[in-house]
Chains A and B, each alone.
Chain A
Amino acid sequence: MDDKKANNKNVTGLMIDEEKKKGIFYFFYYVGRLLWKDKTGLVGLLIFLSVIISAVFSPYLAPYDPLKQNLKISKTPPVWYKNGSIHHIFGTDDLGRDILSRIIYGSRVSLTVGFFGVLIASSLGMIIGLVSGYVGGKLDSVIMGAVNLILALPYLVFVVFIAAILGRSLLNVILIFGFTDIPIFVRVTRGEVMQMREEGFIEAAQSVGATTSRILFKHIIPNLIGPIVTLATFEMSAMIFYESGLGFLGLSVPPSVPSWGNMLSVGRQYITIYPWIAAYPGLAIVYTGLGINLLGDWLRDVLDPRLRRAKK
């Protein structure tokens, strides 16, 4: 099986169309088998897909408009309680909005924040880390100094600052996480680049006259994909977690927007009386985090450098 894989994926020359077609199908087949081998990865993927479906198809899945208030039925408990109603399976919040609908729509905020936040942090982080690790020397010191500066910056001051200057919006939350997570991607990228330097790959490539861009794109970046993608999935889950923290402080997206963080923040004062207002968004966060992390674990096992190097 390894041979076949090497044939299809690592051929640097041209691929005949037919082989290419076989290649793509085979790719999915291969991934499917890997997932089946380690079922937790499969579970993770299914969970993650369920959240994605919930986010994409929210208008079709949610029974109500998440913004619709109905003060007369506020704080209704879930259907299995005494005063519960079949009309609102998970109950309503203090403004009478349906909790199930808000959880479904809330996945949009969480996934958007997680995905774009990680996209910004990983792409910027990777570029900076590449430059820093590859060029080395003084530039590296300066860049690492700046990265450490970002790490040492008090998070709360930064968040309040953004909220005060730019206001509270989805975009600003994405920017906050995108920015504060750059250091971790820089470090990992730089670490990998430096390891490759230590192991002599870069020198060897340079000695046969490879240009910088060739070295970067043919050798370094493919080796980065594994760790970066793995890290990206974990950070995505972390960002969903952080969004709830921001909601707690009242600095996340505006209160009317359904986000799990906001729901937790509203629910926290009722936690001993109407626990469902906070319980279900909390569960949603754990559920999504679980899925993403299981997927990340599986990705890491699959993309493990030791396995990769063995194939080379």
Chain B
Amino acid sequence: MKRYIISRLLQAIALVIGVLFIVFIMLHLTGDPASLMVSRNASPEDIEKIRHEFGFDKPIIVQFANFLKGAFIGDFGMSLRYRQPAMKLIIERLPATIQLATAALLFSLIIGIPIGLLGGSNPNTGLDLVARTTGLIGQTIPSFWLALMLIVVFAVKLRWFPTFGRETVKLLGINFPTKSIVLPAFALSLFTTGQLARFTRSSVLEIKNEDYIRTAYSKGLPRRIIYVRHILKNAAIPIISIVGVQFSYLLSGSIYIETIFSWPGLGQLLAEAVFTRDFGLVQATAFFTSVVVVVLHLLTDIAYGLADPRIKYR
């Protein structure tokens, strides 16, 4: 077990460094941000001076080594645009991002799984049609298009929700989001809801007709117990992997939803950083998101092990 943990840890570190390196190379191959940091009336000498001051004229390997050196002691560099430590800017955005991601995940679990269950256990009925349609629409509808429609209908016309932004109230010491989170979380959850509805449905269908289920029925076990014990367990594996993958995407922020709803999350921060060539911020965000992916991957694997004892660790 110890060996396993150590090997996973080493793999994780290698992954993070690998991601950082690739991102670094990609950023620097697109040119340097010096020209974006000066006014339009700057002279080429001004730009050259900035380039030199921030070390953009040094060879890439040197720049990367310097960055890694800093990263080891927790200094991920400054955001070129905000002139603030990059990590600080990311951490500031975390609560908003985590809350939105969690809310979206909750919505998709609450809506997707039951619909999938109902559809799968009543194939070829109206319920099944609803399940399949939900699955399909969720996965094909462009979320930003829907987001704008949601704002027009629910925020402007019906006034049920605020038009934009994140409002919070202090509950138990933390900034808990108000109903301002509902529209963005719903729009964000659509894709995952679709996937969950479909996979739950097909998991149910897969084992519905298996022998051991029929045996359980004939034994007289109540349907609900059969569902929980057997069907959900079978569905657990694909559900867990969907949740794992989707949650890591969600935690990296969604640029579309955040831009439309002006939700102050990581997606917007990263997008802004990329488009303004704010290298320090992009690097720090890349580090953060790769750590999130690694951690979630690990958690997903653990969850697999819990759900299906047949899986062995090599």
Contacts and interface: CB of A to CB of B under 8 A. Distances in A.
Q: How large is the interface on B (under 10, 10 to 19, 20 to 34, 35 or more residues)?
A: 35 or more
Contact of A40 (B16, B132, B148, B202): B132
B137 interface: yes
A82 interface: no
B158 to A, nearest CB: 15
Contacts of B148: 268, 271-272
Interface in A97-115: none
Interface string B1-38: 00000000001001110110011001101110000000
A161 interface: yes
Interface residues of A, dominant DSSP: helix
A300 B201 CA distance: 13
Contacts of B26: 157-158, 161
Contact of A306 (B15, B206, B286): B206
Contacts of A164: 29-31
Given A161-B30, A271-B148, A154 B270 contact: yes
Interface string A243-272: 011001100000000000000100010011
Interface string A290-308: 1001100100100010100
A137 B31 CA distance: 40
Contacts of B271: 156, 249
Contacts of B290: 152-153
Interface in A129-146: 141, 145
Contact of B293 (A152, A241, A264): A152
Contacts, number: 110
Contacts of A306: 206
A286 B141 contact: yes
Contacts of A141: 11
A40 B31 CA distance: 51
Given A237-B139, A289-B139, A149 B270 contact: no
A289 B29 CA distance: 36
Contact of B255 (A152, A249, A268, A282): A249
Nearest to A305: B206
A121 interface: no
A300 B274 CA distance: 39
B297 interface: yes
A156 B140 contact: no
B152 interface: yes
A228 B60 CA distance: 40
B128 to A, nearest CB: 10
Contacts of A232: none
B256 A248 contact: yes
A184 to B, nearest CB: 9
B282 interface: yes
A264 B15 contact: no
A145 to B, nearest CB: 6
A152 B256 contact: no
Nearest to A162: B26
Contacts of B206: 304, 306
A238 B139 contact: yes
Contacts of A304: 206
A220 interface: no
A268 B286 CA distance: 29
A1 interface: no
A263 to B, nearest CB: 11
Interface of A: 40, 141, 145, 148-149, 151-154, 156-158, 160-161, 164-165, 237-238, 241, 244-245, 248-249, 264, 268, 271-272, 278, 282, 285-286, 288-290, 293-294, 297, 300, 304, 306
Chain A to chain B: the 6 pairs with minimum beta-carbon distance, closest first = A289-B140, A161-B26, A164-B30, A152-B293, A152-B290, A286-B140
Given A294-B136, A297-B132, A306-B206, 16 more contacts: A149-B22, A152-B289, A152-B290, A152-B294, A154-B286, A157-B270, A160-B274, A237-B139, A241-B140, A245-B256, A264-B145, A271-B148, A272-B152, A285-B140, A289-B136, A289-B139
Interface of B: 11, 14-16, 18-19, 22-23, 26-27, 29-31, 132, 135-137, 139-142, 144-145, 148-149, 152, 202, 206, 252, 255-256, 270-271, 274-275, 282, 285-286, 289-290, 293-294, 297
13 contacts: A151-B293, A152-B289, A153-B22, A154-B252, A157-B23, A165-B29, A241-B140, A248-B142, A268-B144, A285-B142, A286-B137, A289-B136, A290-B136
